[in-house]
Structure 1
Amino acid sequence: MADTKASDGPGVSGVAGRYASALFELARDENAIDSVGSNLDGFSRLLDESEDLRRLVRSPVFSAEEQLKAVDAVLAKAGIGGLAANLIRLAAANRRLFVLPDMIRGYRALVAQYKGIVSAEVRLAETPSAKTLDEIKAAIREMAGSDVDLDVRIDPALIGGLVVKIGSRMVDASLKTKLNAIRIAMKEAR
């Protein structure tokens, strides 16, 4: 594993980047990178599932004390502790909860860089089977030459096929793109 400085992380900047970098460095020093990531993922899932929690995190109407009290209750109920809980509490105390999703993304990016994991976005027309997903992951892993973290998104507008994006590289093998190319070729042939 590389001894990468968190400040060199991809796409990590500003307030969110400073919090994510500090958390990553603490987690690395305490050999808690995975447990912190797991706790942050748990809180992120709670944010995705609860409109009330999203409102608490985004709204400037709540005081720091109100946010801290509410966050403490959520963390206790969800069983989230350690460094991740400390980061969330600190963000609430400093009235920075609104950047928490960016902090979590920044932390994930730093972990991926540290572990040599490549992130890839895969868009498909329909939900793939586990076997198909494994084949896609294996193909991307072979192309990238390292482990891959897939972000799978379903986009029915593709009609069929897939679009893979790794960093600034993109491979569009969707049926929609192929049909558009045929349509353009037919217009030019007239």
Structure 2
Amino acid sequence: MIDMMPYAQALFEIGIESQKDAIYLDQLKACASVWMSDQELVAVLKHPKIKREQKEQILSACFEKAVDPVVFRYLRVLNQHDLCAYIPEIYQAYKKCYDKYHHIEMVEVYSAASLDAKQVEDLKKVLSKRLHKTVELDVKVDPKLIAGLKVQTADFVLDNTVLARANEMKEQIKKS
């Protein structure tokens, strides 16, 4: 697999210079969504027997008027290097650059039951304060946890679920 970070970094640096990094993030996300939903487009962009000029015509018809001119030129350059089919991976790499630069941390939260909007917002505030970063939550429901929350960041896991406590008790009983 090709490392897409250098390609994402190039656009991100242009975005920072022009103060359009958030716009480019949104537009890459939209492009990635198109790529993910249209496998025929991806197949065409990856196909070695289809000429780059034909691929560029497709890109032009789909995106020239829909995205910032810099993003469109970026798509054209990717096409010239046979990398245009990898927009979802480039978007993920760009998002990492964006999040790092803006001190945003993605936090996965597992809960036994659905959290309401106030609970999510309160958790976001607590975690932002503790991590000294802006926090984006990815909340997932896992009924096997019985009760409580499991919070996972890039640096730590906080497991305050009944399942974790039960497993811990089980390990202590085994040792006795």
**Shared topology, TM-score over 0.5?**
yes
What one-letter code is carried by the residue in structure 2 that aligns with 1:21? Q
Deviation at 1:52, TM superposition (A): 3.6
How high is the TM-score relative to the length of structure 1?
0.73
What's the CA shift string for 1:136-185, capped at 9, x where partnerless? 11111011112123333444544443322222212122333233223334
Cα distance in 2 for partners of 1:69, 1:152 equals: 40
CA deviation after TM superposition for structure 1 residue 44, in Å: 2.6
Aligned pair partner of 1:148 in 129, 132, 135: 135
Q: Which structure is larger by alpha-carbon Rg, 1 or 2?
A: 2
User: C-alpha distance in 2, partners of 1:136/1:65?
Assistant: 50
Residues paired across the two proteins, number: 174
> 94, 97, 105: which one pairs with 1:110?
97
**CA shift in 2, pair 1:161/1:67, >3 Å:** farther
SS of alignment partner, residue 128 of structure 1: coil
Checking the alignment, whether the CA contact within 8 Å between 1:56 and 1:62 is kept in structure 2 is no
Q: Structure 2 residue aligned with 1:71, among 42, 52, 59?
A: 59
Structure 1 Cα separation of the partners of residues 107 and 98 of structure 2: 15
Gaps of 5+ in 1: 1-13
**Displacement of 1:26:** 0.9
Distance 2:123 2:102 in 1: 21
Distance (whole Å) between structure 2 residues aligned to residue 132 and residue 40 of structure 1: 31
State the alpha-carbon separation in 2 of the partners of residues 55 and 123 from structure 1.
Answer: 36
CA RMSD of aligned residues (A): 2.8
Residue 151 of structure 2 is matched in structure 1 by 164
How far apart, CA to CA, are the structure 2 residues paired with 1:156 and 1:92? 45
